[in-house]
Amino acid sequence: MSTAAMTTTHSSAVAAEGAPLLEVRDIRKVFVDRDFQTPVLKGVNFTLQRGEMVAMLGPSGSGKSTLLSILGTLMRPTSGSFRMQGRELTALREAELSDFRNQQIGFIFQYHHLLPDFTALENVLFPHAGRLWRETRAGRERAAMLLERVGLRDRMNYRATRLSGGQKQRVAIARALMNQPALVLADEPTGNLDRENADQAFALMTEIQRETGTTFLLSTHDRELAERCERRIYIAGGVVVDQPQPAASVAAATSARPSMRVITGDVPAVIDHTGQSGDADRRRA
Amino acid sequence: MRFDLKVALRYLLSNRLQSALLIGGVAIAVTVFTFNAALINGLAEFQIDRVVGSSAHVTLEPAKPRPQLVPAADGAERLVVSQGANERRAQIKQWRTVESVIDTLPGVTGVSYNILGTGLVTRGELSLPVSLKGVEPARLAAIAPIDANIVEGEPRLGLNDVLIGRKLARDLGISVGQPIFLTSSQGRERSLTVRGLYATGVDSLDARLAYVNLDTARVLFDLPEGLTEIEIKLADIYAARAVARQLADSTGLEVTAWMDKNQRLREALEGQGSSGSIIKMFTLITIIVGVASALLLTTFRRRPEIGIMRSFGISQRFVLSVFMLQGALIGVIGSLVGCFLGWGFSTLLAGLGAESGRRLPVDPSLGQYDVALLLAAAASIAAALWPARAASRIDPVEAISQ
Nearest to B311 among A74, A117, A134 (CB): A74
Q: Cβ contact (<8 Å) for B11 and A118?
A: no
Amino acid code (one letter) for A162: R
Polymer length in residues for chain B: 402
User: Does B299 share its domain with B371?
Assistant: yes
Residues of A engaging B, defined by a Cβ cutoff of 8 Å:
69, 72, 74-75, 94-95, 98-103, 105-107, 109, 113, 115-118, 126-127, 129-135, 175-176, 179
Across A197-221, average pLDDT: 87
Q: A92-126, pLDDT tens digit by residue?
A: 888 898 999 999 999 888 777 899 999 999 999 99
Give the end of a domain, one of B204, B229, B252. Answer: B252
C-beta neighbour count of A198 within 10 angstroms: 20
Under the banding of pLDDT at 50, 70 and 90, the label for residue B77 is confident
Nearest to A107 among B11, B311, B315 (CB): B311
User: Does B154 share its domain with B284?
Assistant: no
User: Does B103 share its domain with B214?
Assistant: yes
Three-state SS for B62? coil
CA B28 to chain A, closest CA, distance in angstroms equals 29
**Residue B212 counted as domain residue:** yes
Q: B336-357, pLDDT tens digit by residue?
A: 999 999 999 999 888 886 666 6
**Residue B119 counted as domain residue:** yes
Strand-pairing partners, residue B130, are B119
User: Does B238 share its domain with B286?
Assistant: no
**Residue B357 counted as domain residue:** yes
User: Does B238 share its domain with B353?
Assistant: no
Rounded Cα gap, residues B400 and B393, in angstroms: 14
For the ranges A20-34, B25-39, B258-272, the lowest mean pLDDT is seen at B258-272
For the ranges A262-276, B169-183, B316-330, the lowest mean pLDDT is seen at A262-276
Strand-pairing partners, residue B199, are none
User: Does B282 share its domain with B385?
Assistant: yes
> Which pLDDT score, from 0 to 100, does residue B402 have?
63
User: Does B15 share its domain with B112?
Assistant: no
Residue B399 in contact with partner chain A when CB distance is under 8 A: no
Q: Which residue in B has a C-alpha nearest to residue A101's C-alpha?
A: B313
Give the end of a domain, one of B192, B217, B252. Answer: B252
Under the banding of pLDDT at 50, 70 and 90, the label for residue B91 is confident
**Residue B89 counted as domain residue:** no
Q: B48-75, pLDDT tens digit by residue?
A: 877 777 788 999 999 876 666 777 777 7
Rounded Cα gap, residues B188 and A192, in angstroms: 113
**Residue B56 counted as domain residue:** no
Nearest to A127 among B305, B312, B396 (CB): B312
User: Does B335 share its domain with B366?
Assistant: yes
pTM of the model: 0.69
The verdict on domain A3-108+181-284 having CATH code 3.30.565.10 is no
User: Does B115 share its domain with B163?
Assistant: yes
Q: Cβ contact (<8 Å) for A135 and B310?
A: no
Asked if pLDDT for residue A11 goes beyond 60, the answer is no
Q: Cβ contact (<8 Å) for A130 and B312?
A: yes
Q: What residues in A contact B1, CB-CB < 8 Å?
A: 134-135
User: Does B278 share its domain with B228?
Assistant: no
Q: What residues in A contact B314, CB-CB < 8 Å?
A: 98, 102, 126-127, 130-131
Helices of type H across A82-239: 94-104, 120-132, 137-149, 165-177, 195-212, 223-227
Domain count, chain B: 2
Rounded Cα gap, residues A132 and A125, in angstroms: 11
**Residue B229 counted as domain residue:** yes
Q: How many CB pairs under 8 A join A and B?
A: 74
User: Does B120 share its domain with B189?
Assistant: yes
User: Does B172 share its domain with B271?
Assistant: no
Asked if pLDDT for residue A6 goes beyond 70, the answer is no
Range of the structural domain that residue B275 is part of:
3-51+266-400
With the C-alpha atoms ordered A150, A152, A157, A158, is the resulting torsion angle positive or negative? negative
**Residue B368 counted as domain residue:** yes
Q: Cβ contact (<8 Å) for A113 and B11?
A: no
